């Protein structure tokens, strides 16, 4: 087997390990003696962590989840597996990034029950195309400020990603173009319960005020 493929397999394994770092679950148990999956929305993600445990706990969870997604997608570049900027490198980054997202949703270190992967997906996309990702972050913040719904903001940013990539920016990888559409659809599908709550007027709005500990 070509040594580069051996390294790519290693990168994939490392990516899944990174994705499986159950930040919200571990943080909740270590510092608050609770399983975040049994409180709030039941999601092991940064939003639910902020809502249940407050900003001081949720922000580190958010940053780590973004960081592990970015690092997983950056592995092929850091390991010099292909020519910088080439379609081959981008395709490898997509593969390791997707594996990390799968690891976040189905973490081996937390009983295969993780979060929706929004923060980790953001990290992956940030590694793949910073300009498009920052533009989508702008969409996320605008929708959040206007509506107060994190779920709607996440879906809006996800839908905006392939539009920005295909209309305003470009990439040498056809697979990346297809991936941008698929990741957008996947993000919407993982929020099916949120969509139902939004339609029924039952979705929780994001509270900016600091959580009061009693």
pLDDT in tens, 97-122: 999 999 999 999 999 999 888 899 88
Q: What is the pLDDT of residues 164-190, one digit of tens each?
A: 999 999 888 899 999 899 988 988 888
- pLDDT for residue 79 is more than 90: yes
The kind and range of the H/E element at 94 are helix 87-105
CA dihedral (48, 50, 51, 54) positive or negative: positive
- pLDDT for residue 94 is more than 60: yes
pLDDT at 136: 93
pLDDT at 183: 83
Give DSSP secondary structure letters for 22-75.
-HHHHHHHHHHSS-GGGSTT---SHHHHHHHH-HHHHHHHHHHHHHHHHHHHHH
Residue 18 lies in a domain: yes
Structure tokens at 139: 């969409």
Torsion of CA 109, 111, 116, 117, to 10 degrees: 20
Please report, for residues 3, 110, 139, 180, 186, the alpha-carbon distance to residue 174 in angstroms, rounded to integers and kept in the order given.
Answer: 26, 35, 24, 10, 18
Residue 35 lies in a domain: yes
pTM for this entry: 0.82
Shared domain check, 108 and 146: no
Q: Which domain holds residue 94?
A: 1-116
Give the Cα separation of 108 and 184 in Å (integer): 25
Shared domain check, 165 and 137: yes
Choosing from 72, 95, 116, the residue where a domain stops is 116
Residue 98 lies in a domain: yes
Higher confidence at residue 43 or residue 10? 10
- pLDDT for residue 213 is more than 50: no
Mean pLDDT of 7-36: 96
Q: What is the pLDDT of residues 9-23, one digit of tens each?
A: 999 999 999 999 999
pLDDT at 41: 83
Residue 124 lies in a domain: no
- As for how many domains the chain has, the answer is 2
Residue 195 lies in a domain: yes
pLDDT band for position 212 (50/70/90)?
very low
Structure tokens at 124: 């992956």
Angle at alpha carbon of residue 52, lines to 46 and 57, rounded to 5°: 55
Residue 173 lies in a domain: yes
pLDDT band for position 3 (50/70/90)?
low
Average pLDDT, the chain: 90
- pLDDT for residue 207 is more than 70: no
pLDDT at 85: 86
pLDDT at 214: 41
pLDDT at 208: 56
Shared domain check, 149 and 202: yes
């Amino acid at each position: 087997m070509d040594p580069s493929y051996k390294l790519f397999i290693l990168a994939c394994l490392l990516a899944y390990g990174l994705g499986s770092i159950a930040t919200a679950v571990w943080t909740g148990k270590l510092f608050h003696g609770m399983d975040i999956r049994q409180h709030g929305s039941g999601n092991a993600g940064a939003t639910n962590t902020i809502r249940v445990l407050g900003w001081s706990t949720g922000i580190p969870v958010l940053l780590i989840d973004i960081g592990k997604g970015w690092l997983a997608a950056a592995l092929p570049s850091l390991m010099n597996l292909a020519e910088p900027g080439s379609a081959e490198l981008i395709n490898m980054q997509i593969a390791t990034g997707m594996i990390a997202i799968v690891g976040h949703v189905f973490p081996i270190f937390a009983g295969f029950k993780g979060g929706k992967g929004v923060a980790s997906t953001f990290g992956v996309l940030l590694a793949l195309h910073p300009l498009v990702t920052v533009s989508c972050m702008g969409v996320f913040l605008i929708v959040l400020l206007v509506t107060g719904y994190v779920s709607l903001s996440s879906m809006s940013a996800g839908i905006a990603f392939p539009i920005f990539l295909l209309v305003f920016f470009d990439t040498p990888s056809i697979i990346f173009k297809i991936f941008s559409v698929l990741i957008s659809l996947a993000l919407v599908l993982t929020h099916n319960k949120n969509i139902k709550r939004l339609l029924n007027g039952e979705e929780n709005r994001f509270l900016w005020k600091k959580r009061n500990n009693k």
